[in-house]
Amino acid sequence: MANTEVMKKPNIEHSNPLSRTLLQKLDYDQLTNCMRCGFCLPACPTFRETGVEPESPRGRIALMKAAVDGLLDPDQQFIDQMNHCLGCRACEPACPADVKYGQLIEQTRDAIEDHSPHSLPIKGLRKAAFKGLFPHRSRWKLVGGSLAFYQKSGLQKLARGIGIMRLFPQELREMEGILPEASSKGVVERVGTFYPAKGERIAKVALFRGCIMDVMFAGTNVNTVELLSHAGFDVYIPKNQVCCGALHAHSGEMSDARELAKKNIAAFKALGVDYIVSNAGGCGALLVEYDHLLHDDEQWREDSKWFAERVIDVSALVMEKGRIPSFAEPKADSEPAVRITYQDSCHLRNVMKSSGAPRQLMRRVGNVEFVEMKESDRCCGSAGIYNVTQPEMAGQLLEHKMEHANKTEAQYMLTSNPGCLLQMKLGIEKHKPNVPMKAMHIVDFLHERMVSSK
């Protein structure tokens, strides 16, 4: 049971500046709620890989508390341990004390960024990404158009042919090789800002279109709108919505994450919708916690609660609230079943608590054999940009994931998050399963098999 007594922060004059900031920003109640029971250990991917206590949630919380209590001066090793966490939050469902580890790791990284040890080039890159790109929809359209030109004009083929890609780190070369076709035209440019329900309307919903989703997976956003329409929902897509702020929050840029949250809350609140729909587990997990993100802001407290209460994953909304569309049945008795498996999005499963709905929907499709993959709930190693910043650990996790994936002999590997989808595409490309396998967003798989109702 969680400790309900409010614990006072220690009254210590820290000589270490990072310790002072940690004392200011960390939720001391959550630090003291950890009972050191160890239930989180087998749930933690980095601990399972290393067997080292500081690589576990319990170990990281102990380090945080030691720094706050003045027992440890947080150094580069402390920072490395915090950055080595995937942020998958698999420890939270396993914790009997309901410790909010995800909030603690974000608060710690926020404190670390206040005393950033980054080199000038890295600082410049972070500023360009977090302040110059992510908050601006028009700049994402420019990125999408530039990537599309690179892919379709022959420049991509030329760059690979003359060896330019060898100038980049291996993990970036590998990622470039599996990128889907980009576009400057997102879901609004393709279907507009409103798409009516097919048949009688059940509810009024709004789609959170994301930033990377709307550049690299715009087709998935369109398919999401059409799936929702067939399920009985009027779909609105606010044009003035912005990035969810998840990568900011995970990277210690909490003030920027809060500003993005306020813009999104204002955009969606103006529509007065019944549900706010996410098709990306990583985005949805922060959207559903906007109330925590802004809990100290009196002006936004009530509106952030309104917003968070309405956030739901597309599979859960269709399965639990909608009219489930008809999906294609077998064309003939002799037609072999399509074998599929599913990789859970960590944030969808551990934060949004939605793992059953995608599986239930997949089983509604005719002529499909669903095979549960061993450890489908384990992180694949994507974790936002973790596969770029921590390629060694991400690679180890992907190796294990593909071992389990190959044993399913599935023809389709489905998932519900763009980062997971790219990571699974990379795994398939590197490991070449004996049975040809295709990674696909669950929405695209369902849409492809949906019986059109006119």
Coil/strand/helix, residue 19: helix
Contacts of 129 (CB under 8 A, 6+ apart): none
Q: Are 195 and 222 in contact (CB under 8 A)?
A: no
CATH hierarchy code of domain 17-114 = 1.10.1060.10
Q: How far is residue 294's CA from residue 302's CA, in Å, rounded to a whole number?
A: 9
Coil/strand/helix, residue 324: coil
Q: What is the pLDDT of residue 6?
A: 57
Cα 92-281-301 angle, rounded to 5 deg: 70
111 exposure class (CB count in 10 Å sphere: 0-12, 13-18, 19+): buried
Q: Are 401 and 431 in contact (CB under 8 A)?
A: no
Q: What is the pLDDT of residue 292?
A: 94
Sheet of 311-313, strands arranged across:
194-195, 233-236, 203-207, 275-278, 311-313
Q: What is the pLDDT of residue 452?
A: 67
- Per-residue 3-state assignment (H helix, E strand, C coil) for 153-195: CCHHHHHHHCCHHHHCCHHHHHHHHCCCCCCCCCHHHHHCCEE
Ramachandran angles phi, psi of 397, nearest 5°: -65, -40
Query: How many residues can be counted in the chain?
Result: 454
Q: What is the pLDDT of residue 331?
A: 60
Beta bridge partners of residue 311, listed in sequence order:
276
Q: How far is residue 228's CA from residue 221's CA, in Å, rounded to a whole number?
A: 11
DSSP string, 90-131: THHHH-TT---HHHHHHHHHHHHHHT----HHHHHHHHIIII
CA 425, 428, 430, 436 torsion-angle sign: negative
pTM over 0.95: no
Coil/strand/helix, residue 288: coil
Ramachandran bin of 372, using left for φ above 0, alpha for ψ from -120 to 50, beta for the remaining angles: beta
Write down the residue that tokens 């042919």 correspond to: 161
Radius of gyration of the chain (CA): 22
Token readout for 5 is 């007594």
Token readout for 263 is 């813009």
Domain ranges of the chain: 17-114, 338-448
Please identify every stretch of the chain with a pLDDT value under 70, giving residue numbers as ranges. 1-7, 329-334, 452-454
Q: Are 226 and 447 in contact (CB under 8 A)?
A: yes
Q: What is the pLDDT of residue 1?
A: 43
Q: What is the pLDDT of residue 164?
A: 85
Coil/strand/helix, residue 224: helix
Coil/strand/helix, residue 363: coil
Q: How far is residue 181's CA from residue 171's CA, in Å, rounded to a whole number?
A: 19
Cα distances (Å, whole numbers) of residue 446 to 359, 366, 415, 425: 12, 11, 12, 19
Residue at 352: amino acid letter = M
Within 10 angstroms of residue 434's Cβ, the number of other Cβ atoms is: 8
Cα 291-127-390 angle, rounded to 5 deg: 80
Q: How far is residue 173's CA from residue 176's CA, in Å, rounded to a whole number?
A: 5
Q: At what angle do helices 101-114 and 254-269 cross, to 10 degrees?
A: 120
Closest CA to 79 of 37, 48, 108: 108
Q: What is the pLDDT of residue 454?
A: 42
Q: How far is residue 446's CA from residue 331's CA, in Å, rounded to a whole number?
A: 17
Q: How far is residue 454's CA from residue 451's CA, in Å, rounded to a whole number?
A: 10
> What architecture is domain 338-448?
3-Layer(aba) Sandwich (3.40)
Closest CA to 277 of 315, 327, 325: 315
Closest CA to 103 of 30, 171, 185: 30
Q: How far is residue 282's CA from residue 417's CA, in Å, rounded to a whole number?
A: 7
Closest CA to 82 of 43, 54, 41, 116: 54
Within 10 angstroms of residue 248's Cβ, the number of other Cβ atoms is: 27
The model's pLDDT over 173-193, given as tens digits with 9 standing for 90+, comes to 888 888 899 999 999 999 999
Domains 17-114 and 338-448 share a fold: no
